[in-house]
């Protein structure tokens, strides 16, 4: 079964590829509501098992009817396994958690209890949440970590993916879901900067059998530049028929570059965080952004020169913020710290990402 034909068909609807998926980490894209996302043309979001199991907690997500009913978002939801977040937490402070072959145990600061994330548990939770794409737990590494650490990570990531797949199959069989309601299961390819390890990880995961794959590990170097070579290579070792998710990739230029390399799903907090901190995207999509340069710039809303700007952020944009409000008014809302600024700016940057991926599709199809 190939699930990848420029459109992903998921239990809660279709996602045209390539697609940028905003992060709704705790069940909400910060400062927006589900109707806002629909109005932006967003087709799917990424929510986060690691965070949701803490807040509001898994039993609350279930009591509120699963992630879709809880969040009012009726379209597809991808749920992150939590592997990356647990890695970040432990890397930041090793006393907050521990990783073993069994899984990841952690107790975030301020949390009253310990959490245990195993390969089975993350799949159980994601399925209980009602996710459209479930992601296996992986052992994330820093791209600069030494080879033995990367080898260990690949070994563990493959072992965990195998256990995740078994648990997934068991639950799906027990639920007897019709095929069109069955979630997809993705595995994450680790291996740091080693081509050899990336290839080996991909081949072993392909042998187990998944519906798609994610590029694992932080995708940028210390200078914030895309690790293009290894990202490109990792795509090459996975047959084109499988969708690949560029986890954590969200800069417009990097999305365009990775889409050209064959990646089709992207998520990152960057566009929404940029919006909140006053960095608003201006795109000139006349050319093909996958091949041309200079089509992306940034308006800094807080800049004093925008105080009396009666024009919108971006004349070419059709989002709520650009259709109805001047840059000068958004500057004012930013200065007075009104929450409406956060919403309008987030809507603008997300609409820019949707316009970009539409343009990338047109470039590919044209």
- Please list the active-site residues: 80, 267
Q: Which residues contact 162 (CB under 8 A, 6 or more apart)?
A: 208
Residue for token pair 């470039």 = 363
How far apart are CB 222 and a second copy at their closest, in Å? 31
Which one of residues 64, 147, 241, 298 is an interface residue with a second copy (CB under 8 A)? 64
* Cβ nearer to a second copy, comparing 104 with 344: 344
77 contacts a second copy (rule: CB under 8 A):
no
Say if strands 77-80 and 133-135 run parallel, antiparallel, or are unpaired: parallel
* Cβ nearer to a second copy, comparing 221 with 338: 338
Concatenate the DSSP letters of all residues of 196-229 into one string.
HHHHHHHHHHHHH--SEEEE-S--B-TTS-B-HH
- Hey, which residues between 325 and 354 contact a second copy (CB under 8 A)? 325-326, 328-329, 331-333, 335-336, 338-340, 342-344
269 contacts a second copy (rule: CB under 8 A):
no
- Hey, which residues between 279 and 318 contact a second copy (CB under 8 A)? 307-308, 310
* Cβ nearer to a second copy, comparing 69 with 175: 69
Longest dimension (CA), the chain: 62
How far apart are CB 323 and a second copy at their closest, in Å? 9
Which one of residues 21, 32, 90, 354 is an interface residue with a second copy (CB under 8 A)? 32
65 contacts a second copy (rule: CB under 8 A):
yes
1 contacts a second copy (rule: CB under 8 A):
no
Residue range at the interface with a second copy (CB under 8 A); choices 55-63, 119-127, 148-156, 219-227: 55-63
Determine the size of the site formed for a second copy (CB under 8 A). Answer: 40
Q: Which long-range contacts (CB under 8 A, 24 or more apart) does 194-200 make?
A: 194/147, 194/150, 195/230, 195/233, 197/147, 197/150, 197/151, 197/154, 198/230, 198/233, 198/234, 198/237, 199/233, 199/237, 200/154
- Integer Cα distance of 8 and 14 in angstroms: 5
* Cβ nearer to a second copy, comparing 30 with 98: 30
Beta strand spans in the chain (E)? 7-10, 13-16, 19-22, 45-48, 77-80, 97-100, 103-106, 115-117, 133-135, 184-189, 212-215, 244-247, 265-268, 279-283, 296-300
Counting Cα atoms < 13 Å in the Cβ hemisphere of 210 gives 30
Phi, psi of 296 (to 5 degrees): -125, 125
Phi, psi of 277 (to 5 degrees): -95, 10
Residue range at the interface with a second copy (CB under 8 A); choices 27-35, 94-102, 144-152, 263-271: 27-35
* C-alpha 158 chain-centroid distance: 21
Which one of residues 96, 149, 208, 320 is an interface residue with a second copy (CB under 8 A)? 320
Q: How many residues does the chain have?
A: 366
**Beta bridge partner(s), residue 194:** none
Residue range at the interface with a second copy (CB under 8 A); choices 31-39, 99-107, 220-228, 233-241: 31-39
63 contacts a second copy (rule: CB under 8 A):
yes
Residue range at the interface with a second copy (CB under 8 A); choices 70-78, 143-151, 247-255, 264-272: 70-78
* Cβ nearer to a second copy, comparing 22 with 252: 22
Which one of residues 59, 88, 92, 93 is an interface residue with a second copy (CB under 8 A)? 59
- Hey, which residues between 141 and 200 contact a second copy (CB under 8 A)? none
The 10 Å Cβ neighbour count of residue 184 is 22
- Integer Cα distance of 74 and 93 in angstroms: 37
How far apart are CB 133 and a second copy at their closest, in Å? 22
* Cβ nearer to a second copy, comparing 276 with 279: 276
* Cβ nearer to a second copy, comparing 55 with 170: 55
The 10 Å Cβ neighbour count of residue 301 is 25
- Whole-Å CA distances, 61 to 38, 70, 242: 22, 7, 30
Q: Which residues contact a second copy by CB under 8 A?
A: 26-28, 30-35, 55-56, 59-60, 63-65, 69-72, 307-308, 310, 320, 324-326, 328-329, 331-333, 335-336, 338-340, 342-344
């Amino acid at each position: 079964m190939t699930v990848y034909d420029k459109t992903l068909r998921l239990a809660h609807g279709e996602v045209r590829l390539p697609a940028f998926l905003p992060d709704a980490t705790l069940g909400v894209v910060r400062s927006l509501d589900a109707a806002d996302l629909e109005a932006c043309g967003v087709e799917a979001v990424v929510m986060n098992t690691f965070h949701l199991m803490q807040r509001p907690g898994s039993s609350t997500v279930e009591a509120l009817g699963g992630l879709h009913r809880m969040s009012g978002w009726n379209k597809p939801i991808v749920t992150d396994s939590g592997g990356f977040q647990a890695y970040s937490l432990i890397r930041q402070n090793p006393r907050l958690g521990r990783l073993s072959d069994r899984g990841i145990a952690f107790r975030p600061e301020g949390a009253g209890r310990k959490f245990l994330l195993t390969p089975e548990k993350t799949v159980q939770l994601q399925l209980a949440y009602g996710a459209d794409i479930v992601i296996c737990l992986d052992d994330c590494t820093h791209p600069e970590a030494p080879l033995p650490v990367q080898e260990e990570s690949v070994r563990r990531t493959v072992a965990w993916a195998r256990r995740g797949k078994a648990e997934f199959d068991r639950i799906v069989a027990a639920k007897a879901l019709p095929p069109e309601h069955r979630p997809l299961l993705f595995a994450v390819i680790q291996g740091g900067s080693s081509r050899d390890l990336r290839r080996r990880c991909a081949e072993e995961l392909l042998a187990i059998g998944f519906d798609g794959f994610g590029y694992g590990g932080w995708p940028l170097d210390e200078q914030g530049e895309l690790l293009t070579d290894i990202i490109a290579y990792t795509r090459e070792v996975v047959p084109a028929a499988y969708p690949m998710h560029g986890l954590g990739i969200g800069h417009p230029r990097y999305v365009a570059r990775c889409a050209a390399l064959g990646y089709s799903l992207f998520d990152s907090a960057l566009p929404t965080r940029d919006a909140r901190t006053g960095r608003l995207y201006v795109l000139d999509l006349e050319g093909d952004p996958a091949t041309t340069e200079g089509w992306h710039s940034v308006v800094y809303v807080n800049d004093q020169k925008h105080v009396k700007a009666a024009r919108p952020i971006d004349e070419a944009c059709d989002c709520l913020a650009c259709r109805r409000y001047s840059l000068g008014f958004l500057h004012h809302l930013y200065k007075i710290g009104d929450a409406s600024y956060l919403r309008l700016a987030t809507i603008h940057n997300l609409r820019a990402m949707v316009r970009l991926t539409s343009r990338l599709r047109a470039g590919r199809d044209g």
